[in-house]
Amino acid sequence: MIKLYGLRMSNYYSLTKALLIEKALDFEEVKKAPSQKEDFLMLSPMGKMPAIEVDGVYLSESIAIAGYLERLQPQPALLPNDALHAAKVMELVCHLKLDVELVARRLLPEVLFKQPVSEETKAAVKADLAKGMKAVERLFVGAPYAAGDQLTLADFYTFYCFGLSSGMVKAIYDEDLLDGYPAIQNVLALMAEHPSVKRVETEKSAK
């Protein structure tokens, strides 16, 4: 059975859990806080959650885990059959992750841990986010899903990347990151009702 390590509060832990549920795979959640200690670095070399364990082998990075799950359990498919369409989905995932979520994450110390972020960083984050949002907008199909008419990995990344990013933007700039992005808002609404995501979010609040 697959073991999933991390904490339910984490967006990438939640995303990975949703994928395991989506693929109807047996898994066990192991509550473990991320750290730079050797026992956690063995699971995840940057000390970040989530990580999974399969037959004594550890695997970190949600994209790597998603790729593994897709091959392990091809149905329901979360990537299009066509190689180029599948690559376009991954391209969108990369921009969601690297140019939106990872950028907004720089605000996290102030929002979650009351460690002030400098005005310089706030200005840089704002400028970088504007670029990231334009990149995502160019690739986002939203008809009705992120990459078109098929539910894909990009929908899960949209839900879990914007959950964190919108919260950071609201808290720091008092702005709505998704204002003017109705297609993204629609995917967020769709995914909030999607059974695997709904289960993850319900269990998160149950602790």
Ligand X SMILES: N[C@@H](CCC(=O)N[C@@H](CS)C(=O)NCC(=O)O)C(=O)O
Query: At residue 130, what is the residue type?
Result: A
Determine if 11 is a binding residue for ligand X (CB under 6 A).
yes
Q: Which stretch binds ligand X (CB under 6 A): 6-14, 21-29, 67-75, 79-87?
A: 6-14
User: Nearest 10 degrees: CA dihedral of 200, 50, 60, 71?
Assistant: -10
Q: Is 109 left (phi over 0), alpha (psi -120 to 50) or beta?
A: alpha
How many amino acids of this chain bind ligand X (CB under 6 A)?
A: 10
Determine if 167 is a binding residue for ligand X (CB under 6 A).
no
Residue closer to ligand X (CB basis): 62 or 166: 62
Q: Are 139 and 78 in contact (CB under 8 A)?
A: no
Nearest distance, CB of residue 47 and ligand X, angstroms: 5
Nearest distance, CB of residue 144 and ligand X, angstroms: 25
Q: Of residues 35-64, which lie at the interface with ligand X (CB under 6 A)?
A: 47-49, 61-63
Of 146, 170, 162, 159, residue with least CA distance to 196:
159
Q: Are 158 and 96 in contact (CB under 8 A)?
A: yes
Residue closer to ligand X (CB basis): 37 or 143: 37
Residues near ligand X (CB under 6 A) are 10-12, 34, 47-49, 61-63
